Structure 1
Amino acid sequence: MSAQATARVAPPAFAPRPRPEREAAPAPRLRVVRAPAQARTRVPFVLVCMAVLAAALLSALLLNTQMAQNAYQRHDLTNELARLDQDQKDLVAVLDHKSSPEELAASARRLGMVPAAGTGWVRLADGSVQGVPKASK
């Protein structure tokens, strides 16, 4: 016998087992169904996206406007600060001129004051006078 004939006669090693006979189940009834209608539309999603975009643009506009307003205020305050700084320098110059030793002596003479001839100090701890005070003429 040939190899082909032997292969036909020999049953395979993994042959399925025969199943016991069952009762025949009734065949299910099949019917055609429609595709489900789309439950949601895209309109709410589009409206939400447009609202978010509008809110972002509005907030950017408000932020830009506030920054511009702050820039104007900063410019005005810088100008005022420069003016006040110049006023302070002018007042210091006037005060320096009026408080010079020559101007101070002239003001004292106009008020009737005279220069002191000698100086003395009073010690506050015990009330004693130190130095040699002299009477003015």
Structure 2
Amino acid sequence: MSALPASAARTARAYPLPARPAAAPAPRLRVVRAPEQARSRVPFVIACMAVLAGALLTALLLNTQMASLAFERYELSNELGRLDQDRKDLVAALDSRSSPARLAEAATALGMVEANGTGWLRLADGSVQGAPAPAGG
């Protein structure tokens, strides 16, 4: 059979045994700190909600103020139209009262008479110019 003795045949293998790893050194123990607590997100969420609430409140106040000013503008526009119409009415009344016929009627009602002639007084030398005549009445 083989030239190897029987005891050697038992120990001989067809493939080599893997090398045994060297003995691992004993693990070194060390003290570690406790893990830090994760930061809470509550303050960030509250800050975001506060910014959102502030923006919504600001928008509401601006909208309310704009509506109030629009109403006030509408009221002032109506008052301006009413005052303009009153002015036009007063100008028309003044024009009708200042017509020559109405002025003659008002003067007659006050007891005034029509002048027969007109004259002018010159202040530089005190002379009278024109043909003044006494009013008949």
1:19-30 counterparts in 2 under 5 A? none
Distance 1:49 1:128, change over 3 A: farther
Q: Which digits, 9 at most, give the CA deviation of each residue in 1:94-117, with x for residues without a partner?
A: 111111100000111111111111
- Matched residue pairs, number? 109
Q: Pick closer, same or farther for the CA change 1:124–1:64 going to 2, 3 Å.
A: farther
Q: Which position in structure 2 is the counterpart of 1:68?
A: 67
**Take 1:72 and 1:126, find their aligned partners in 2: how far apart are those partners?**
67
Partner Cα distance (1:71, 1:91) in 2: 30
Larger of the two Rg values belongs to structure:
2
Counterparts of 2:105 and 2:127, CA distance in 1: 33
- Cα separation, 2, equivalents of 1:109 and 1:91: 24
Structure 2: any 5+ residue segments left out of the alignment? 1-27
The farther-off stretch of 79-88 and 124-133 is: 124-133
Secondary structure of the residue that 1:66 maps to in structure 2?
A: helix
Question: What secondary structure does 2:30 align onto?
Answer: coil
CA shift, 1:69, in A, is 0.7
SS in 1 for 2:89: helix
Offset, 1:30: 6.2
Q: Which residue of 2 aligns with 1:86?
A: 85
Alpha-carbon offset, residue 129 of structure 1: 3.0
Output the aligned Cα RMSD: 2.1
* % identical equivalent positions: 71
Match of 1:103 in 2: 102
**TM-score when normalising by structure 2:** 0.69
**Match of 1:116?**
115
Deviation (angstroms), 1:72: 0.8
Query: For residue 38 of structure 1, what is the aligned residue in structure 2?
Result: 37
